[in-house]
Amino acid sequence: MKYTITKDPHEDERVQKIIEISGQNIFSCYQCGRCSSGCPMAEFMDVLPNQVFMFLQEGDVDTLLNAKTPWICAACFTCTVRCPVGLDLAAVMEAIRELQLRKNYDYVDPYKVEEREELPPIAMVSNFRKFTP
């Protein structure tokens, strides 16, 4: 595994976008790991919550967009409550999902869903909102 930094991560447009959507200065994370140690879903994640910040600080948004972690996040806010520098990781996770969603990543044609008559409406709504691979 190798990653080459090609430009200053601070100047990366997608990192800037995530900062803008979440309202969080992701560069203030100093990697204590408390978000990961307290996360009830961490054991199911492929990228640990604290690593989410590290990938962002290195400008590696692609890895995060392809990771399962943002979709496994239950948005329970445990990390947000515990963060020593007051970062809202749940908001950052949402921003990553948002970045993906805005690409129509979860596009589902409702008309093509079989058994759509039998599905509860909430299942359809959540399908639009949060895609779970």
Partner 1 sequence: MAMKRIGVFICHCGRNIAGTVDVKRVAEEIGKREDVAFSTTYVFMCSQPGQKLIEDSIKKYNLDGVVVANCSPTLHEKTMRNAAARAGLNPYRVEIANIREWAAWPHEDNPEAATRKAIRIINATIEKLKANASLEPIEVPVTRRVLVIGGGVAGMQAALDIADSGIETILVEKEPSIGGNMFRLSETFPTLDCPQCILTPKMNDVGGHPNIKLYTYSEVEDVEGFMGNFKVKIKKKATYVDWDKCTGCGECLRVCPAHVDSEFDLKMAKRTSIYIANEQAVPLKALIDENSCIRLQFEKKVKEGKIKPKKNVKICSKCADVCEPNAIHFQNNEEIVEEEVGSIIVATGYEVMPAEAFPELGGKYPDVITALQFERLLAPSGPTAGIPRRPSDGKIPKSIAFVHCVGSRDPQNGVPYCSRICCMYTIKQAMLVKHALHDAAVYDFYIDIRSNGKGYEEFYHRAKEEYGVNFIRGKVSKVYKVGDKYRVQGVDTLTGRIVEVDVDMVVLATAAKGSSTVKELAKKLRIPYDEWGWLKETHLKLKPLETPVGGVFIAGAAQFIKDITDSVSQGSGAAAKAMALLSKPQLEKEPLLAKVDPEICAGCGRCKDQCAYDAITIDPIRHVSVVNEALCEGCGACSANCPTTAIQVVNFKKGQVVRAVDVLAEVF
Nearest to 20 by CA among 79, 83, 102: 102
Q: What gap in Å lies between CA 39 and CA 84, rounded to an integer?
A: 15
Tell me the closest approach of the beta carbon of residue 131 to partner 1, in angstroms: 24
Given the complex with partner 1, which of 9 and 72 has the nearer CB atom?
Answer: 9
Least CB distance to partner 1 at residue 48 (A): 9
**Closest CB 32 distance from partner 1, rounded Å:** 11
Q: List residues binding partner 1 (CB under 8 A).
A: 1-5, 7-11, 25, 27-28, 30-31, 47, 50-51, 54-55, 57-58, 60, 85
Q: How many CB atoms lie within 10 A of CB 107?
A: 9
Buried b (16+ CB within 10 A) or exposed e, 36-70: beebeebeebebbbbbbbebbbebbbebbeebebb
Specify the residue, 14 or 130, whose C-beta has the smaller distance to partner 1.
14
Whose Cβ is closer to partner 1: residue 37's or residue 126's? 37
